[in-house]
Amino acid sequence: MFKIGRNDKCWCGCGKKYKQCHERSDEENLKEYVEKGYPIPDRHLILSPEQIQGIKESAKVSIAIMDALDKFIKEGVSTEAIDRLVYEMTEDAGGICADYKYEDFPKHCCTSINNVVCHGIPSEREILKNGDIVNVDITTILNGYYSDMSRMYMIGQVPDNAKKLVEVTKKCMLSGIDAIKPYRPVSDIGNVINDIADENGYGVVRALCGHGVGLKFHEDPVVNHYRTDRKTMIMVPGMVFTVEPMINEGTWDCKVSSEDGWTVTTADGSLSAQWEHTVLVTESGYEILTL
C-alpha cells in the first residue's frame, strides 16, 4: 500500500483525514494487485491538490511556449533560434528550462529532426528545410514544479509518408493516454500504443520511456510505450506522468551519437516522430495537464 498516514489528509483534497475518506476504498481497489505482485506506487508519487495546481501553472508556461513555436517554426529557422525562444519565454515567465545542464545537456530544449528520435541538440548550423519533420521537447520548472511536453512540426511540403508518421504517432500518444484508468497497470498504455504502431508497420522505440514528473524531472513510474506482459506499476489517482511515444517508420532500434553523447537516431536511418503530454491520473480516468 502507498503508506499514506491514516491521520494525514486524504489525497483527494476533501480536507478530511485519510482514514475517514479514501483509505478503505484504496485498500480494496489495490488488494487484488498487491496479491498478484504488482508494484504499488509509493506515497510520494500521490500528489496533493496543491502540488497538482503547481504543475498546472508550470504547464501553462510550457503550453504558451509551444503555441508560440507553432507560429515561429518554419523553413529557414535554425534550431538555435528555437532554443533561444524557449529560453527567453521561460525566463520571462519566471521559470527555468529543466533541460539546461541536466546531466550536462548544453541547451534549453531538444530539437529532433527526421531520423533523430530524441535529444537532438539545437545548433546554429542546423536550419529547418522544406520537407523536414521536427520534434521540439521542452520541460519548464516553475516554482519547483515540472511540466514536460513536446510537439511535432512539419516544414513546408512534407512527403505523405512523413505526414502519416506524424499523425499516427499523435494518435498513439492520445490513444495511450486514453487507456489511463485508476487501479490498472501502466502497461495498458504501451499495449494500446504498440497495437496502433503494428497496424501501420511502425516500430515502437524501446530504449526511452515516459516517466513520473512534477516534483522532479524523471521519477517513477516507468511508462513503456511498447507491449509488455510484465507486472508494471498500478496507476492511482494523484499520480502525474508523461506519455511520449517515439515511433519509427522502420525498426524500433536506435543508437546514440558517439560524438555528442546525446542525439538518438534510428538504427536504420528511417524517420521518427514523437509527441508528449504530462498527464494526471484522476478517480474517473485522467486529465492532460499540458493541453
Nearer to ligand MF3, 4 or 133 (CB): 133
Maximum Cα–Cα distance for the chain, whole Å?
Answer: 60
Separation of alpha carbons 25 and 10, rounded Å: 12
CB of 36 to ligand MF3, least distance (A): 30
Residue 259 binding target from Co ion, ligand MF3, none, CB below 5 to 8 Å by type: none
Nearer to Co ion, 132 or 244 (CB): 244
Nearer to ligand MF3, 114 or 135 (CB): 135
CB of 29 to ligand MF3, least distance (A): 29
Residue 110 binding target from ligand MF3, Co ion, none, CB below 5 to 8 Å by type: ligand MF3
Cell numbers at residue 72, please? 515561429
With binding defined as CB under 6 A, does residue 83 bind ligand MF3?
no
Given a contact cutoff of 8 angstroms between Cβ atoms, the answer to whether 246 and 166 are in contact is: no
Which among 25-33, 81-89, 101-109, 128-136 is the span making contact with ligand MF3, rule CB under 6 A?
101-109
Given a contact cutoff of 8 angstroms between Cβ atoms, the answer to whether 90 and 108 are in contact is: yes
With binding defined as CB under 5 A, does residue 90 bind Co ion?
no
Given a contact cutoff of 8 angstroms between Cβ atoms, the answer to whether 247 and 67 are in contact is: no
Judged by DSSP in three states, 220 sits in: strand
With binding defined as CB under 6 A, does residue 11 bind ligand MF3?
no
Residue 102 binding target from ligand MF3, Co ion, none, CB below 5 to 8 Å by type: ligand MF3
With binding defined as CB under 5 A, does residue 99 bind Co ion?
no
C-alpha distances in angstroms, 217 versus 49, 77, 106, 145, 271? 19, 28, 16, 9, 27
With binding defined as CB under 6 A, does residue 249 bind ligand MF3?
no
With binding defined as CB under 6 A, does residue 102 bind ligand MF3?
yes
What is the arrangement of strands in the sheet containing 246-248, beginning at the earlier edge strand?
203-204, 246-248, 272-274
Q: Cβ neighbours of residue 26 under 8 Å, at least 6 residues apart?
A: 1, 2, 236
The contact set with Co ion (CB under 5 A) reads 137, 148, 242, 244, 276
The contact set with ligand MF3 (CB under 6 A) reads 99, 102-103, 105, 110, 119, 137, 139, 148, 242, 244, 276
